Amino acid sequence: MTDEHFLTADEVMDYLQINVRTVYRLVKKGTIPALRVGRLWRFRKRDIDAWLAGRRQAGGARGLTAERPRILVVDDEEAVRDVVSKTLTMADYEVETADDGAAALERLESTDYDLLITDLKMPGMDGLSVIRAARRRLADLPIVIITGKSTEASAIEAINLGVTGYLTKPFALTRVLSVTARALGEPAPAIELKA
């Protein structure tokens, strides 16, 4: 019988000083080996220590913060896409954009994202259709909605689909950052936005 010490996801978060999304992102990428026990994950402490030692030897002085959350921004209005994308990039998020629902679904199929930000009203495939398709692929993906005109029915459906946040146009750039951080389970980034 071996004397191995296993950690829960909560213990890994405390040990590495990271949030739960980062833990599961590292597990999904195969960066940190994990064992599934029923519905829970368990981590060998020696595996985590070996991974940390390897990062230190490779010069990973920034630790885990080098893995920036990846966000997909979907909006048919180029100006909105650009302002949201630039705001999030300045806050050190990795951002990709799509100009319609079909392009968003292609990206969601080929790339792992930590957050989806989508407009509700778009020609062709609307935002609610994008959300439903994203939910079928990744049930726990945080989603934020951007909308200029929201109906009560669309707001109720968005809530039923588990939308994490809501941005109503026009919105302040600081609101984009706070809603994004909350959706990712992180503290709001402290950055200076230049006009």
pLDDT of residue 23: 75
* pLDDT (tens digit per residue) in 51-98: 777 766 654 433 444 467 899 999 999 999 999 999 888 887 899 999
* pLDDT (tens digit per residue) in 67-76: 678 999 999 9
Specify the CATH class of 6-66 in words: mainly alpha
Domain spans in the chain, listed from the N-terminal domain onward: 6-66, 70-184
Measured in whole angstroms, how far is the alpha carbon of residue 159 from the centre of its chain?
18
pLDDT of residue 47: 82
Backbone angles phi, psi at 14, to 5 degrees: -65, -45
Question: Quick check: 32 and 52 in contact, CB under 8 A?
Answer: no
pLDDT value at 146 more than 60: yes
Q: What order do you get walking across the sheet with 35-37 strand by strand? A: 6-8, 40-44, 35-37
Answer whether CATH 3.40.50.2300 is correct for domain 70-184. Answer: yes
Average pLDDT over residues 33-54: 80
Q: Which of the pair, 18 or 80, is modelled with greater confidence?
A: 80
pLDDT of residue 110: 87
Buried/exposed 82-94: b ≥16 CB within 10 Å, e otherwise: ebbbebbebbebe
Dist CA 121 CA 131 (whole Å): 12
